[in-house]
Amino acid sequence: MAGPAWAEPPPPELPQNASEANRMFQPAMDYLPNGCYPSVAIGKDGTLNPGLRTTGALDGSCRDESDLENSNMYARSRCNATGWCAHMYGLYFQKDQTTGAGCPDCGHRHDMEHIVVWVLDDKVEYVSASAHGNYQTKPAGEVEFLEGGTNPKIVYYKDDLSTHAFDFVPPGAEPVNHWGRWHFPDLVSWEGYPSAELRDKLTENDWGSATFALKDKDDTFAKDLEKAHKDLPFDFDVRRHTLPSGMPDPNEPPGDDDDDDGPVNMVRPMALGSSTTYGEGSSDGNGYRYTADQGFNFLAQRSEEEGSAAGVPRLMDGDDASPWVDWVGSIRVGRMPDREVEGWSGFRIREIAGKAKCAVKTYQPNLITLIAGGNDVNENYEMAGAIGRLEDLVEQVSADSPGVTVLVGGVQPFHDAAKDARGKAFSAQVPAMVDRLVDRGLHVVYTDLTGLERSDVGSDGIHPNDRGYEKIGDAFVEAADQAYEKKWIRRPNRQAPNAGSDPCGMQDDGPGKDPHPPNKLGYGWEDHDVIQATQFPSSNRFWMVDINKDRKAEFVTVDVNQAVRFWWNSGPSGDGWTPFVEGKISYVPQAGAVGNQLRFADIDGDDFPDCLVVNLTGGITAYTWKAENPSGSRMCMKKYDGVARVFADGSKGRELSIDPETKIRFADVTGGGRDDYLLIKPDGTTTAWYNRDFQVKGSKKWLDWTPPQKISGALQLPREIRYADINGDDRADRILITAAGGARAWINEGAKGAGGKYRDIGRIADGGDLPPKDIQFADLDGDKKADFLRIGWTGVAHAWLNRLPANYFDTYHP
């Protein structure tokens, strides 16, 4: 039996470096599922693609989404003085496999296919697509184009039992690749290779049955143009390249100095980063962009006034009706007229780079304002490598929009002392990083944000307030002035042909997040309104339980007969919530089971929930996670065959006699990773049996509990008591629900494995006029801190996310 077509990953793509004309007429590509995606024939380090064996699936090892990211298209043009130009585009595929009768694994390693776009006076007249060594040619009127009429739609497909070829896309067809949009591989013009030596290595390589038609060897380029031209009704000299008067050579990408003495028709900035770039915490949703926009417009006017003074590039052509400043991005937010931005709340540097890959290539900004790393700092995520990740990001965007100037700053102050220290240490490395990038020939300017103070950060302790954003905008304007003086701000490149159809998506968030929305619970709680609106019988019980170890608790309901249903929680989505989707559970209650006897807890420390049927004598029937079962039949499917019950002396002694008014709960109060057994009396007195894990001795099996420990005394004004981790230290804190539905808390500071020591920090949530019995605490968004829920008597759930900063838990709040 044939093995899979396995290979090492392809070499990294060449950076896009193409002429205006080659980009203007670049074909819009798609690839049917019975073949490969295009790849990279030669990497930027000179590594040649070894291709794939024609074994296994037709698309085996060559149709991953990553292949769309890492691909090149190669272009070469030939023009005649008559005004006709032939723009040839080539794509490389790692194999061309067929499944003819008696030959399931035939074909050949490597495939190269080509398209010729025939243009007269910048208008497409004909298009030729290669197929099995020849070309199929159609007049432009019979070809599907992207909006704009210069980018023909071409598909790579398998020709019945034969090998693969190019064809014209039929009317109305939509792309079927992973992205669901027309694909534009990074384009390299004939004179756009990193070096002539690298291009020679590509053209001189023996590609087996495939031919790189752009090469001169054996007169290949001219001969392929002859094939494509043979039925066309006009003369064309395929061997002579003669440019009409005034035409730039389409084989030559623009150089770094091409625009130094010519007008730059606009500043096309992209604000790139996370929530600070988005503008979170600003009263108008504009963040720093409004201040920066005013400064960039002044810069454009300055260029207009200075005109064509020697050595000074103009930012605006007086005859150009385009706006002086045109912000670009795939999010619209704020109240300013031009609302586009590339700011992604919660994203770390690598995630920002993932978003930038599409946006920068598509919109081709000539100026990027970059603040990235705040979430790396906030989460203390691999800080030793953070500056390297930022450096990689600047290099990435510089390659994806050739000639762009990047204005890069550090991060703003944080109210939390540890985060602020990390932020300052990270920001201090940015100037040296900028120097390294400039030494490598990139246009990068350090933007000094050290003028921001603690008071310039809002009440959440993370995001700037309006004054802070104004300072950031001013800093970017100052950095742009420096770039202008260096003659670095260039004419923007042509945008991707499909830029007008928003290929990266377009998210419109209106005016943005209100930094001070009305909130019943007050400071530190983010109201997400009703997150689960389905209603159930009032006899059901409702719980929030993390089922899949993503730290986001699922919505669980248990009926009077102990039948369990649950709905997956995918977390917040903007100000709303991702809709809950019902999951599958195979737990079957015992005959005569009662719904309010079922509890959910992790008693074995595997981070998965177990089902515990409890009674008033300390009895526990435990059903744990059965990992070897198929999905949907793992939770609570392994009945524990030892003794799990709690006794008066821990795992021994007399049976308990529990008052029916006393609540039986489970929570990890020791930080040991396993939930402990708690009895909470009506007066608030709490007794805990600490969980020492399952034990086996000979034929005896038992869940080992410590003797009971009193961890909380009676309260003067007892109310509902909850135990949940509100500060993210993996130990359940004690929470009192007030008469008005607010909360006060005692932080668990007991020794790990012991518990029992709590510090009163007072109020954590204002009275929200909510029924105390409806209040639960559970982590809903995966940040390790329990959030506030009101789950009504029919299961409707309203959520407030816990945004209390770390230093809030250090002091008392009356």
Residue-level pLDDT at 456 = 85
Nearest to 597 by CA among 581, 613, 611: 613
Mean pLDDT (10-residue bins), the chain, 814 residues:
53 91 95 94 94 83 89 97 97 86 73 97 95 93 91 91 89 92 94 95 94 95 96 95 93 68 70 96 91 90 61 47 84 94 96 95 96 95 96 94 95 91 97 96 96 84 89 96 91 86 92 74 86 96 96 96 96 75 95 96 97 97 96 95 97 96 97 96 95 96 96 86 96 95 95 84 92 97 94 96 87 93
Helix 466-485 with 289-306: angle, nearest 10 deg: 30
Please enumerate in sequence order all residues whose Cβ is within 8 A of that of 662, keeping only pairs 6 or more positions apart, or say none: 679, 680, 681, 682
Give the span between the Cα atoms of 39 and 91, in whole angstroms. Answer: 8
Residues whose CB falls within 8 Å of the CB of residue 337, separated by 6 or more in sequence, listed in order: none
Least Cα distance to 378 among 386, 368, 388 occurs for 386
- At a CB cut-off of 8 Å and minimum separation 6, what does 791 contact? 542, 544, 774, 776, 797, 798
CB 146 within 8 A of CB 498: yes
Count Cβ atoms within 10 A of the Cβ of residue 575 and give its class: 0-12 exposed, 13-18 middle, 19 or more buried. Answer: middle
Distance (Å, whole) CA 389 – CA 630: 39
**What is the pairing mode between strands 507-508 and 331-332?**
parallel
Closest CA to 36 of 12, 13, 14, 57: 57
What is the H or E stretch that residue 689 is in?
strand 686-689
CA–CA distance, 92 with 74 (Å, rounded to integer): 9
Q: What is the pLDDT of residue 317?
A: 45
Sheet holding 164-168, edge to edge: 28-31, 153-158, 164-168
Integer Cα distance of 275 and 412 in angstroms:
12
Do 627 and 573 form a contact (C-beta atoms < 8 A)?
A: no
Structure tokens of 786?
A: 């329990």
What are the structure tokens assigned to 136, written together? Answer: 């199929």
Beta bridge partners of 555: 544, 567
Give the SS3 label for residue 169: coil
Tokens of 720: 């509902």
Which residue type is seen at 657?
S
3-state secondary structure of 254: coil
Angstrom distance (rounded) from CA 222 to CA 130: 15
- What the chain holds in terms of domains, given with CATH numbers, is 20-230 (no CATH), 269-307+323-508 (3.40.50.1110), 525-810 (2.115.10)
**Max Cα-Cα span within the chain:** 104
- pLDDT at site 783: 86
Report the DSSP pairing between strands 554-558 and 28-31.
Answer: unpaired
Q: Write down the pLDDT at residue 7.
A: 53
Q: Report how far residue 228's alpha carbon sits from residue 134's, in angstroms, rounded to the nearest whole number.
A: 7
Please report the beta strands in 506-627, taking only residues with DSSP state E, as ranges in sequence order. Answer: 507-508, 525-532, 541-545, 554-558, 564-568, 572-573, 576-577, 581-582, 598-601, 610-614, 620-624
Q: Quick check: 686 and 733 in contact, CB under 8 A?
A: no
The pair of three-digit structure tokens given for residue 685, joined into one six-digit string: 């007195």
Rounded to the nearest 10 degrees, how much is the dihedral formed by the CA atoms of 799, 801, 802, 805?
-150
Alpha-carbon dihedral angle through residues 472, 478, 483, 485, given to the nearest 10 degrees: 170
- The answer to whether residues 7 and 67 touch, using CB atoms and an 8 Å cutoff, is no
Enumerate residues 6+ apart whose C-beta is below 8 A from 699.
Answer: none
Check if the beta carbon of residue 409 is closer than 8 Å to that of residue 274: no
Residue 431 belongs to what H/E stretch? helix 430-439
Using alpha carbons, select from 354, 304, 343, 324 the residue that is nearest to residue 472. Answer: 343
Q: Which two tokens stand for residue 498?
A: 């499909």
On the 0-12 / 13-18 / 19+ scale of CB atoms within 10 A, 678 is buried
Locate tokens 């290539």: which residue? Answer: 361
Interatomic CA distance for residues 345 and 335, integer angstroms: 18
For residue 493, give both structure tokens.
């490149």
Question: What does the buried/exposed string (b/e) look like for 720-746 if buried means 16 or more CB atoms within 10 Å of the residue's CB?
Answer: bbbbbbbbebebbbbbbbbeebbbbbb
* Residue partners of 255: CB distance under 8 A and separation at least 6: none
Q: Are strands 269-273 and 367-371 parallel, antiparallel or unpaired?
A: parallel
Q: d(Cα 123, Cα 670) in Å, to the nearest integer?
A: 74
Single pTM value for the model = 0.56
Q: What is the DSSP string of 339-406?
A: -EEEE-TT--HHHHHHHHHHHHHHH--SEEEEE--HHHHHTT-SGGGHHHHHHHHHHHHHHHSTT-EE
Helix axes 430-439, 386-400, angle to 10 degrees: 40
Q: At what angle do helices 349-363 and 386-400 cross, to 10 degrees?
A: 10
pLDDT at 310: 40
Identify the pLDDT of residue 518: 63
- CB atoms near residue 122 (< 10 Å): 12
**CA-to-CA distance for 449 and 469, rounded, in angstroms?**
10
Token reading at 621: 């029937």
**C-alpha to C-alpha distance for 285 and 282, rounded to whole angstroms:** 5
Rg from Cα positions in the chain: 33
Torsion of the alpha carbons at 34, 38, 39 and 40, rounded to the nearest 10: 150
Half-sphere exposure of 520 (CA within 13 A, CB side): 18
**Which residue bears the tokens 């981070």?**
607
**CB count, 10 Å around CB of 605?**
14
Q: Check residue 207 and give its pLDDT.
A: 95
Catalogue the E-assigned strands of 733-802. Answer: 733-737, 743-748, 758-765, 775-778, 787-791, 797-802
- Spatial separation of the C-alpha atoms in residues 44 and 166, rounded to whole Å: 26
